[in-house]
């Protein structure tokens, strides 16, 4: 397994694989040549996490945190019980693939698994297997819950999706050995910060329009007040001399008068970078758009 590079085990709306090149250009390399701690409080599919773990040998410890308990449970199960999880996923995969030509039975299988998942009464291994199964078979790999925390995404059109990538799951389990996996609000991550720490924040993005919101990863909405609370937390980290990077949507690209992020992060460095978006109800809004990378590098002494 040492030769296998771990990669995200989930499809994820807003995943950061397409942004890694820009993040790489904007890292504080002066601190990363020494032992450092990496903290990612909105971990999602972990694209940046796995890239960091695979590419920076001086990364001594990593901490991931997310408010989505089902997501965090899945990370914890992969870290501690990968073989049991793989066995369950293979069972789901074999059963689902056997219904390839039986469309109605296939639908019934999917919605039955979705109902079981939403009851949240199974053990952690089965619950995490259901989480991955739904992610691999639902529409667009979209994770969305309502205010009652009910996963409500319909079945996708995939014929024979890979539900169990055992090789990658074992590789992920291996790299997660140096990762502290925490369920909770992003502010909880501060408890795990060390002297030489780098935070990466990938919060639910501020919608570009009233119809483009895909930020329902948890039952509580991440609205403008939450965006400001996150800014306050970043300001606190700056005072404590921790380095951080934050990504978000460039709402000014949709409306040049919308300077929301330019105002609330006016004390920090804001860069506009290109990224691809593949999920949008409006096809014309898919493709390459500007996103924001905001950092406090070179500003810690000035504002501390």
The four Cα atoms 277, 279, 280, 283 give a dihedral, to 10 degrees, of 80
Question: Is 202 labelled a binding residue?
Answer: yes
Separation CA 231–CA 227 (nearest Å): 6
* Token pair recorded at residue 286: 């898919």
Separation CA 14–CA 1 (nearest Å): 28
- Longest Cα separation, the chain: 65
Phi, psi of 42 (to 5 degrees): -120, 75
Separation CA 98–CA 108 (nearest Å): 13
Give 20's DSSP letter. H
How much is the CA Rg of the chain, to the nearest whole Å? 20
Q: Which residues contact 33 (CB under 8 A, 6 or more apart)?
A: 58
Query: Dihedral of CA 235/241/247/252: which sign?
Result: positive
Separation CA 202–CA 41 (nearest Å): 8
Question: Is 185 labelled a binding residue?
Answer: no
Asked if 204 contacts 145 with a C-beta cutoff of 8 angstroms, the reply is no
Question: Is 12 labelled a binding residue?
Answer: yes
* Token pair recorded at residue 65: 């945190």
Q: Which residues contact 276 (CB under 8 A, 6 or more apart)?
A: 18, 287, 288, 289
Question: Is 220 labelled a binding residue?
Answer: no
Known binding-site residues equal 12, 16, 66, 202
Binding residues for S-adenosyl-L-methionine: 12, 16, 66, 202
């Amino acid at each position: 397994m040492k030769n296998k590079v771990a990669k995200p085990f989930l499809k994820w709306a807003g995943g950061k694989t397409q942004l890694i090149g820009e993040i790489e250009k904007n890292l504080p390399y002066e601190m990363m040549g020494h032992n450092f701690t990496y903290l990612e409080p909105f971990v999602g599919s972990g694209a940046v996490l796995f890239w960091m773990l695979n590419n920076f040998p001086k990364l001594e410890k990593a901490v991931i945190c997310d408010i989505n308990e089902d997501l965090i449970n899945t990370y914890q199960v992969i870290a501690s019980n990968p073989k049991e999880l793989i066995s369950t996923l293979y069972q789901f995969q074999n059963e689902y693939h056997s219904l390839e030509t039986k469309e109605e039975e296939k639908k019934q299988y999917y919605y039955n698994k979705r109902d079981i998942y939403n009851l949240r009464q199974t053990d952690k291994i089965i619950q995490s297997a259901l989480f991955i199964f739904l992610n691999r078979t639902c529409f667009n790999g979209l994770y969305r819950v309502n205010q009652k925390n009910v996963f409500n995404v319909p079945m996708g059109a995939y014929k024979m999706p890979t539900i169990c990538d055992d090789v990658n799951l074992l590789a992920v389990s291996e790299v997660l050995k140096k990762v502290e996996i925490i369920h909770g609000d992003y502010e909880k991550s501060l408890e795990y910060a060390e002297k030489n720490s780098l935070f990466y924040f990938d919060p639910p993005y501020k919608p570009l329009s009233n119809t483009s919101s895909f930020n329902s990863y948890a039952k509580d909405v991440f609205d403008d007040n939450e965006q400001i609370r996150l800014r306050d937390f970043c300001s606190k980290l700056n005072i404590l001399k921790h380095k951080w990077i934050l990504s978000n949507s460039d709402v000014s690209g949709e409306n040049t008068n919308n300077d929301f992020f330019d105002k609330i992060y006016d004390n920090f460095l804001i860069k506009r970078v290109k990224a691809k978006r593949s999920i949008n109800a409006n096809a014309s809004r898919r493709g390459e758009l500007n996103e924001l990378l905001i950092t406090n590098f070179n500003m810690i002494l000035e504002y501390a």
